[in-house]
Chain A
Amino acid sequence: MKFTHAATVAAPRDKVWARLMDIPAAARCVPGVASVRPSGTDKYQGTLAVQVGPVRLVLDGDLVVTARDPSSGTASIRADAKDSRVGGAIRAAMDLALSEKEGQTELRIATDLAVMGRLGEFGQAVIKRKADQLMQDFAECLARQVIAR
């Protein structure tokens, strides 16, 4: 499943970049993220609790920054997480890109999401709607945090 999200932050690109690359802090902008701890170089471990339709999932997993380029304002993140209650896993490859225009920064996130096991039986529309909502909340929260700093 591929989708793209975009949000505009009223701050210069380097400020947004710095916030974005503070992964534990940025991750807290995703509603339902319980904890994100470093577990190695560019590696993090975390938990996301999320309600999809009638089902509550607790996704435990790893997040790896696989590429980052401050000069172009792009980064790639890979996330692997498992839910042991419903049974299943997700795997997400995210490409983040920041671009500045007239003092504002546009954040674009392109996600390729694979849903495995029983989690995959949820309707695509349900998963996509949930992902849309999470990413939108994330982008808005990030924008607020950058401005508040």
Chain B
Amino acid sequence: MTSVAEAPGGVLAEPEYRVEGRDKVTGAARFAADVAMPGMLHAAFVASPYPHARIVSVDVSAARALPGVRAVLTGADTKPQRFGRRLQDWPVLCSDRALFIGDRVAAVAADTLQIAAEAARLVEVEYEELPAILATDAALAEGAPVLHPDAGSYAFLGGTRSAPPHPNIQGHGVREHGDVEAGFRASFRVYEHTFAVPRTHQGYIEPRAALVWLDGETVRVVTTNKTPFSLRNHMSVSLGIPESRIVVDAGHIGGDFGGKGLSLDEFALYHLARATGRPVRAVTRYADDLQATNSRHAGTITLRTGVDRVGRILAHTSKVVFDGGAYAAGKPVATLMPGDAMLTLAGYRVPAARVEAMTVYTNHVPAGHARAPGQPQNAFAAESHIDLIARDLGIDPLELRERNVVRPGDVDVTGQPWHGTDGAELLARLRGSSRYAPSLAPEGRPNWWGWGVALGVRHVGRGKASLVLRTLPAGRVELRTGVSDQGGGAHTLFQRIVSAELGIGLDRVAVVRRTTDAVPNDPGVGGSRVTPVQGTAALDAARKLKARLAALGRSLEDAGELEVTGEAAQEAHEASMYAYVLAVTVDSETGQTKIEDATLVADVGTVINPVALRGQLEGGFAFGLGQAVMEELRVEDGRVVTANLGDYKLPTIADMPRLGIELMTERPGPGPFGAKSVGELANPAVGAAVANAVQDACGSRVMSLPITAEKIWALLPAKQSR
């Protein structure tokens, strides 16, 4: 491992300028929806208005007769094709049953978007409504309809799907270590709490868009998918086309936040392009993006923890039940659960634990991945649970955390020794840098003012990647990568790494993104991966070029044409920790909260992009704040009722309090020059920090997200006093 001291300091200390910044502010940056082709057609879809229905008949004759309509396809034209990131259970178009409101039954391609939309309205679908599963317990109840009776025939990428314990379960896991029963027997107190978390949307600004056409034998795809090589693979498996005949172009992406690894339109667009011989484009309306793509999982989380007299954790059990919606297609992990579904008491020393988690099929909008999958839900539950335990024991909540936080070598809830941040040091820094003034009694501080603490952990990204570095005339170099720009600053990161390692100015390093046919395989953006994995590949490329130049006895200025492939295989199980102290005031008449002050201490290792890193932490806080106090993709009778950005509320800059950030940079991570990951580091713990502060301020303990004024007000223990 490279230590921080060895890092070439000069360039990393340089101010950071975004490689793609000029193109974005001048409007030159091209997003998927900007791309048009001569003769291009526009697509529209016919969606089921019922959460569960048999499709009796589909009459497309009126739609086909409309002037300007070039193709109308139904499930009969695309069956049995299904797609998905791991389990391919989502039909390209439904042929026998529709499983949620918004499920696609037919697709239209027409000369204009207006004609396509009109034709979609003219498609007559006769449905027979079926009993719908609108809750996870209903899915597992005796006699519940089985939503995927043919699950055994679905493709499962990269392995074999282990048989779920119930046909309506998508994924299930149990993990146990230590003697759990003995731990509970030895406990001074055992606490059990149940928390509820809602569905939320990733909230990216740019809705999904895709353009597909046939170029001879080659299928060309322009997309907002952030994992173009994976999409190439998914399309190959679903559509039965060799990967060598599919080229995916995913350039600038207007925000992803975990949601854009799943593509929906590209598969039907391929069929429309083939049927018409023309390029076909679809741009998702935001209402459809909210109602019918893949939201963050709603769920119910029950935690049970035994502690000794001084509050040390002795044993823990948990049960996490996530509503997976109609399809599991959005989940890329083999467990078919959100990545950290089983991380229910993260960041603590846990000598014995039994953790159970599952995702369940329902007739709701499918759930997939979103920034730090599974963590905002589990962190809200765990950090609220820890706080409730502290308050009941009469121990200051920060102090209880100090007594239990993991230090390197401790066994955590996974049963594995912790490799990561020294939690005790992190909390000491938090105590020092925040104005935390512990007091379980409200005397001596303003009324309706409370402190909330919460911590969180996130693994440093793992995986393999490769990219190409080649020399250009005049001592310049060009790095070619398949990594899309989804806004995180990946290309700027690569430029700074190569520049630092080669000891040349930033202006001599160009970074270019290429389509899937022009660069080596890349895993895409996600899993906190870009800095530690693709960043390491960039460093490897720079080192190889240096070695090549040394072997040839040349300088970069007279290098000639050289090309090297940088590779990385980051398999180290490392994790970072962060923690918040929030000061919150509550309006005694309305329950409205205001965050007065916020402090974040985060273990980030070496900083490569100082501005982007800060942006990720601030953005992570804002993202977490939205889910803490306002965001909820509400569903009634199977329908998303917050189907526009007026009803689905996202935070804006006006909602942001002052956020003090203290970085821990001393302990190097496995990434380039000792870097770690920060993209998914800061968002999960915000909800619990707010909930804890609210209870401290006014006594209301909100057990579900979002923590709205209404919920707080309803729980106010004494509405007139204090």
Contacts and interface: CB of A to CB of B under 8 A. Distances in A.
Contact of A87 (B121, B640, B643, B647): B121
Interface residues of A, number: 16
B636 to A, nearest CB: 7
B364 to A, nearest CB: 15
Nearest to A84: B121
Contact of A114 (B120, B637, B642, B643): B637
B647 A125 contact: yes
Contacts of B643: 120-121
A88 interface: yes
A35 to B, nearest CB: 23
Interface in A84-128: 84, 87-89, 114-118, 120-125
A84 B122 CA distance: 8
Interface in A119-140: 120-125
Contacts of B641: 1, 120, 124
Contacts of A116: 49-50, 101, 639
Contacts of A115: 639
Interface of A, helix, strand, loop or mixed by DSSP: mixed
Nearest to B50: A116
Given A1-B636, A84-B121, A121 B644 contact: yes
Contact of A124 (B47, B50, B291, B647): B647
B647 A123 contact: yes
Contacts of A89: 49
Contacts of B636: 1
Nearest to B122: A84
Nearest to B646: A123
Looking at B120, B639, B640, B642, the one whose CB has the most chain A CB atoms below 10 A away is B639
Interface string B409-425: 00000000000000000
Contacts of B151: none
Nearest to A125: B647
B547 interface: no
Nearest to B641: A124
B182 interface: no
B287 A88 contact: no
Contacts of A118: 287
A94 to B, nearest CB: 17
A118 B47 CA distance: 10
Contacts of A125: 647
A87 B49 CA distance: 10
Contacts of B639: 114-116, 120
A87 B291 CA distance: 16
Nearest to B634: A124
Contacts of B49: 88-89, 116-117
B685 to A, nearest CB: 31
A1 B642 CA distance: 13
B287 A121 contact: yes
A88 B646 CA distance: 20
Interface in B112-127: 120-121
Interface string A58-94: 0000000000000000000000000010011100000
B637 A123 contact: no
Contacts of A117: 47, 49
Contacts of B291: 121
B699 to A, nearest CB: 31
Interface string B272-298: 000000000000000100010000000
Nearest to A2: B636
Nearest to A118: B287
A117 B640 CA distance: 11
Contacts of A122: 644
Contacts of A87: 120-121
Contacts of A1: 636, 641
Nearest to B286: A121
Nearest to A122: B644
Contacts of B637: 114
Interface in B595-654: 636-637, 639-644, 646-647
A2 to B, nearest CB: 9
A118 B644 CA distance: 11
Closest 7 CB pairs of A and B: A116-B49, A121-B643, A121-B287, A87-B121, A123-B647, A117-B49, A123-B646
Given A117-B47, A125-B647, 18 more contacts: A1-B636, A1-B641, A87-B120, A87-B121, A88-B49, A115-B639, A116-B49, A116-B639, A120-B101, A120-B640, A120-B641, A120-B643, A121-B287, A121-B291, A123-B644, A123-B646, A123-B647, A124-B642
5 contacts: A115-B639, A120-B101, A121-B644, A122-B644, A124-B641
